[in-house]
Amino acid sequence: MTGPADNRSGATGLILGIETSCDETAAAVVSARGEIRSSVVSSQIDLHAAYGGVVPEIAGRAHLEMLPAVLAAALEGAGLVPRRPGLDAVAATSGPGLVGALLIGLSEAKALALAWDVPFVAVNHLEGHLFATLLEHAHGDRAGLDWPLVVALVSGGHSLIVSMEGPGRYRLLGQTVDDAAGEAFDKVSRFLGLGYPGGPAIEKAALAGDPTAFRFPRAMLADGLDLSFSGLKTAVVRAVQSHPEATNEDVAASFQQAVIDVLVTKAVRGVEAVGAGGLCLAGGVAANGPLRAALQSAGDELGIPVYLPSRAMCTDNAAMIAAAARWQLDNLGPSPLATPADPNLRLRLLA
Q: Under the rule (CB under 5 A), what is the footprint of Zn ion? A: 155, 316
Smallest distance from ligand KG4 to CB 157, Å: 4
Nearer to Zn ion, 155 or 159 (CB): 155
Per-residue H/E/C for 264-333: HHHHHHHHHHHCCCEEEEECHHHHCHHHHHHHHHHHHHHCCCEECCCHHHHCCCCHHHHHHHHHHHHHCC
Rounded distance between C-alpha atoms, residue 9 and residue 40, angstroms: 27
Least Å distance between CB 6 and ligand KG4? 37
Is there binding between residue 176 and ligand KG4 (CB under 6 A)? no
CB of 328 within 8 A of CB of 168?
yes
Note whether 41 binds ligand KG4 by CB under 6 A.
Answer: no
The DSSP bridge partners found for residue 26 are 19, 41
**Interaction of residue 209 with ligand KG4, rule CB under 6 A:** no
Of 293, 195, 181, 192, nearest to 252 by C-alpha is: 192
CA-atom Rg of the chain in angstroms: 20
Per-residue 3-state assignment (H helix, E strand, C coil) for 178-203: CCCHHHHHHHHHHHHCCCCCHHHHHH
Task: Specify whether the CB–CB gap between 20 and 105 falls below 8 A.
Answer: yes
- Smallest gap from Cβ 103 to ligand KG4, in A, equals 17
Give the shortest CB-12-to-ligand KG4 separation in angstroms: 29
Q: According to the binding rule CB under 6 A, does residue 109 interact with ligand KG4?
A: no
Answer for the pair 40, 19: CB distance below 8 angstroms, yes or no.
no
Pick the binder of ligand KG4 from 105, 197, 209, 299 (CB under 6 A).
197
Cα-flanking dihedrals φ and ψ of residue 158, to 5°? Answer: -140, 150
Query: Residue 316, interface with ligand KG4 (CB under 6 A)?
Result: yes
The identity of residue 179, as a single letter, is D
Contact between 309 and ligand KG4 by CB under 6 A: the answer reads no
Choose which of 88, 127, 179, 203 interacts with ligand KG4 (CB under 6 A): 203
Q: How many binding residues for ligand KG4 (CB under 6 A)?
A: 19
Q: Does 288 bind ligand KG4 (CB under 6 A)?
A: yes
Answer yes or no whether residue 157 interacts with ligand KG4 by CB under 6 A: yes
If the CB atoms of residues 132 and 239 are measured against ligand KG4, the closer one turns out to be: 132
The reply on whether position 19 binds ligand KG4 by CB under 6 A is no
**Site of interaction with ligand KG4 (CB under 6 A):** 22, 155-157, 182, 185-186, 197-200, 203, 283-285, 287-288, 315-316
